[in-house]
């Protein structure tokens, strides 16, 4: 099965009524797709992948509390750059 963000958006849309917001966490980037039609109304790509975050912030197999907090803060900063999502959209 194709697990691309757009394919997952279409599956989520078929399973829900109204607006859908899909968050796809990738290895290097994450994608947010939102809309209520076959083609999404909005699509954003964030530099917040699992591998990218691990390389940038974690220095040991078990990250320290400070490393975790720093990674979380960086993720929050990226998310806050996005415009507001539709009220009533299902994530």
pLDDT digits 0-9 by tens, 23-42: 899 999 999 999 988 899 99
Q: CA-to-CA distance for 87 and 36, rounded, in angstroms?
A: 12
Q: CB of 91 within 8 A of CB of 23?
A: yes
Query: What SS3 class is residue 8?
Result: helix
Per-residue pLDDT tens digits for 14-26: 888 888 888 899 9
User: Could you tell me the CA-to-CA distances from 61 to 44, 52, 57 in Å, in that order?
Assistant: 31, 15, 11
Instruction: Please provide residue 49's backbone torsions phi and psi, each rounded to the nearest 5 degrees.
Output: -85, 160
Tokens of 28: 């290097």
pTM of the entire structure?
0.76
């Amino acid at each position: 099965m194709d697990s691309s963000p757009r394919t997952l958006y279409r599956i989520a849309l078929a399973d829900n009524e109204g607006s859908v917001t899909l968050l796809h966490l990738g290895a290097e980037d994450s994608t947010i797709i939102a809309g209520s039609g076959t083609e999404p109304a909005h699509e954003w790509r964030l530099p917040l992948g699992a591998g990218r975050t691990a390389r940038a912030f974690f220095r040991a197999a078990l990250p320290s509390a400070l490393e975790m907090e720093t990674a979380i803060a960086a993720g929050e900063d990226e998310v806050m750059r996005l415009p507001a999502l539709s009220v009533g959209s299902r994530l």
